[in-house]
Amino acid sequence: MKYIDEYRDADLTRKLLADIQKIITRPWNLMEVCGGQTHSIIRSGLDRMLPSRINLIHGPGCPVCVTPLELVDKAIALASLPDVIFTSYGDMLRVPGSSRDLFAVKAAGGDVRIVYSPLDALQIAKDNPDITVIFFAIGFETTAPANAMAILQARAQGLANFAVLVSHVTVPAAITALMDSPDVQVDGFLAAGHVCTVMGFWEYEPLAEKYRIPIVVTGFEPVDILHGILDCVQELESGRFEVHNAYARSVTHDGNQPAQAVIRKVFEMTDRAWRGIGVIPMSGYRLREEFASFDAEQRFPQVQSIETHESPLCISGLVLQGRRKPDECPAFGKQCTPQTPLGATMVSSEGACAAYYRYGRYTFPSPSGEPSGVSSDD
Partner 1 sequence: MCLGIPAKIIELYETNGMKMAKVDFGGVVKEACMEYLPEAKIGDYTIIHVGFGLSILDEQEAMETLDLLKQIDALGDEIPGPA
Partner 2 sequence: MTEKLNLLGWTCPLPLQNYPTIVMGHGAGGRMMADLIEHLFAPAFDNQWLSQMGDSTAISLQNLLEGSQSGSSIINQQSGINLAFTTDSFVVSPLFFPGGNIGDLAVYGTVNDLAMRGARPLFLSAGFILEEGLPMETLGNIVTAMAQACKKAGVKIATGDTKVVQKGHGDGLYINTSGIGVIPAGLDIGPRNARPGDAVLVSGTIGDHGIAIMSVREGLTFQIEIQSDTAPLYGLVEAMVTSGRGERLPAPRRALFPVGGPHENDYPPAIHCLRDATRGGLSAVLNELAGSSKVGIEFDERKVPLRPEVNAACEMLGLDPFYVANEGKLVAIVPGGLAEPVLAAMRLHEYGKDAAIIGKVVSEHPGLVTAKTSIGGMRLVDVPAGELLPRIC
How many residues lie near partner 1 (CB under 8 A)?
Answer: 60
> What does DSSP assign to residue 366?
P
CB atoms within 10 A of CB 329: 24
Is there binding between residue 200 and partner 1 (CB under 8 A)? no
> What does DSSP assign to residue 295?
B
Which one, 91 or 111, has the nearer CB to partner 1? 91
Q: Which does 104 bind (CB under 5 to 8 A by kind): partner 2, partner 1, none?
A: partner 2
Is there binding between residue 139 and partner 1 (CB under 8 A)? yes
Q: Which of 47, 231, 297, 310 binds partner 1 (CB under 8 A)?
A: 231
CA angle 234, 237, 239 (to 5 degrees): 105
Q: Which of 55, 197, 245, 348 binds partner 2 (CB under 8 A)?
A: 348
d(CA 245, CA 322): 24
With CA atoms as reference, report the closest residue to 308 among 67, 64, 68, 62: 68
d(CA 258, CA 301): 33
d(CA 187, CA 212): 9
- Adjacency order of strands within the sheet including 267-274: 111-114, 84-88, 132-139, 162-169, 278-287, 267-274
Is there binding between residue 234 and partner 1 (CB under 8 A)? yes
Q: Which does 258 bind (CB under 5 to 8 A by kind): partner 2, partner 1, none?
A: partner 1
Is there binding between residue 126 and partner 2 (CB under 8 A)? no
Q: Do residues 241 and 212 lie in contact, with contact meaning Cβ atoms separated by under 8 Å? A: yes
Is there binding between residue 160 and partner 1 (CB under 8 A)? no
Q: Which of 77, 81, 146, 184 binds partner 1 (CB under 8 A)?
A: 146
Q: Which of 10, 130, 156, 368 binds partner 1 (CB under 8 A)?
A: 156
Which one, 62 or 277, has the nearer CB to partner 2? 62
Longest dimension (CA), the chain: 66
Which one, 55 or 256, has the nearer CB to partner 1? 256
Which one, 212 or 334, has the nearer CB to partner 2? 334
d(CA 38, CA 125): 35
| Residues of span 88-127 touching partner 1 by CB under 8 A | 89, 116-120
In sequence order, what DSSP letters do the residues of 112-156 get, joined into one string?
EEE-SSHHHHHHHHHH-TTSEEEEEEEESTTTHHHHHHHHHHHHH
Is there binding between residue 116 and partner 2 (CB under 8 A)? yes
* Burial state string for 17-53 with b = 16 or more CB within 10 A and e = fewer than 16: bebbeeebeeebbbbbbbbbbbbbbbeeebbbbbbbe
For residue 142, the minimal CB distance to partner 1 (Å) is 4
Which one, 63 or 214, has the nearer CB to partner 2? 63
Residue 212: phi, psi to the nearest 5? 55, 50
Burial label, 232 (beta-carbon count in 10 A; 0-12, 13-18, 19+): buried
Q: Which of 55, 161, 256, 321 binds partner 1 (CB under 8 A)?
A: 256
Binding site for partner 1 (CB under 8 A): 1-4, 6, 12, 15-16, 19-20, 22-23, 34-36, 61-63, 89, 116-120, 139-140, 142-143, 145-146, 149, 153, 156-157, 192-195, 197-198, 220, 223, 227, 230-231, 234, 242-246, 248-251, 253, 256, 258-259, 262
Give the binding site for partner 2 (CB under 8 A).
1, 4, 8-10, 13-14, 35-36, 42-46, 48-49, 62-64, 87, 89-91, 93-94, 103-104, 106-108, 113-116, 120, 124, 139, 143, 222, 335, 337-340, 348-350, 357-362, 364
